Amino acid sequence: MSVFTTVTHEQLSAWLKNYSIGTLTGLEGIAAGIENTNYFVTTAQGRYVLTLFEKLKAAELPFYLNLQDHLAKAGVPCPRPVPDRSGAFLGELNGKPAALVGFLSGKDFAAPSPLHCAQAGAMLAAIHVAGGSYAGRMDNPRGPKWWQAAMPAIIPFLSAQDMKLLESEVRYQSQNHSRELPRGAIHADLFRDNVLFENGRISGVIDFYFACTDALLYDVAIAVNDWCVTEGGALDGARAAALLDAYAKARPFVVAERSAWPVMLRAGALRFWVSRLYDFYLPRSGELTHAKDPGHFRGILAAHIAAGERLPQLV
């Protein structure tokens, strides 16, 4: 993701003496994203990704790193954390918590077909099924409490129309929130750019640092809102059906999820509209940073509201 904290070749070479992965031969900053500092790291033994955590605290990070290790052991193709010589996944570099994970080859698809969407749905179900035996727990850091806390900082930048939409949707979600849905470890950010393909098949799922314990259906809604939307924000029926059908084959939806689906689609859109508004208007300084367009998810939310009962249904 973005480079907020600079790491030199010399600094990393010294830090890597704590690991059994050979000497450093290459270091390259990764400019995409907005949350952490990431570098591609090449050593005599292979390629890795170094992450310096800019917001998350050291006490929070075992949930994410242990989840990735748990999923990798279960066969999910996610970046497996690399232990240091003492067996620990987490270290500190330049004053920031830091971790190394294995590099996964492949590339994402900006314009996925229904076949790509079906694979994404099946992979998300595999994550949820494997995550069912994960003992770690983490409240959603970008859930309803965060929406409420972020609103006062965001509202001064909004038009009257957008302010009204934001306030109305936050109120709607608080009135329709369901606690009866199946819960567990979720990815919470399964966008197209976090899924890698190679030779037509998924080769990796990356960026688990928004993972948390929440409704599994919320994770499905987040994925559908990215993989299955048109330029105008409406859902593409063929892509949505492919993703949802493939998911349901591995983890069938329960009755409560079917009734909660329209609300959850809107919740997934609201979450990313709020976070992108926050990052756009209240950015942090960084060497290679960029904020994504908040209007994209505003359009998706508005399209979901307008569609109402015409939204694609769960099977």
pLDDT digits (tens, 9 = 90+) for 208-246: 999 999 999 999 999 999 999 998 899 999 999 999 999
Q: What is the CATH number of domain 9-102?
A: 3.30.200.20
Could you identify the residue written with the tokens 């494997």? 130
Provide the mean pLDDT of the chain.
94
User: Is it the case that residue 86 has pLDDT exceeding 70?
Assistant: yes
pLDDT of residue 220: 98
User: Cα(14)–Cα(27) distance, rounded to whole angstroms?
Assistant: 13
Mean pLDDT, rounded, for 100-123: 96
pLDDT of residue 1: 43
pLDDT of residue 31: 78
SS3 readout for the chain: CCECCCCCHHHHHHHHHHCCCCCEEEEEECCCCCCCEEEEEEECCEEEEEEECCCCCCCCHHHHHHHHHHHHHCCCCCCCECCCCCCCCCEEECCEEEEEEECCCCECCCCCCHHHHHHHHHHHHHHHHHHCCCCCCCCCCCCHHHHHHHHHHHHHHCCHHHHHHHHHHHHHHHHHCCCCCCEEEECCCCCHHHEEEECCEEEEECCCCCCEEEEHHHHHHHHHHHHCECCCCCECHHHHHHHHHHHHHHCCCCHHHHHHHHHHHHHHHHHHHHHHHHHHHCCCCCCECCCCCCHHHHHHHHHHHHHHHHCCCCC
Mean pLDDT, rounded, for 154-177: 96
User: Is it the case that residue 184 has pLDDT exceeding 80?
Assistant: yes
Q: Is the CATH number 3.40.190.10 carried by domain 114-310?
A: no
pLDDT of residue 4: 84
Percent of the chain whose pLDDT exceeds 70: 97
User: Is it the case that residue 126 has pLDDT exceeding 50?
Assistant: yes
Q: Which amino acid is it at 27?
A: L
pLDDT of residue 34: 64
Domain boundaries, the chain: 9-102, 114-310
Least confident of 90-99, 194-203, 289-298: 289-298
| This model's pTM is above 0.95 | no
Output 41 or 180, whichever has higher pLDDT. 41
pLDDT of residue 287: 47
pLDDT of residue 2: 62
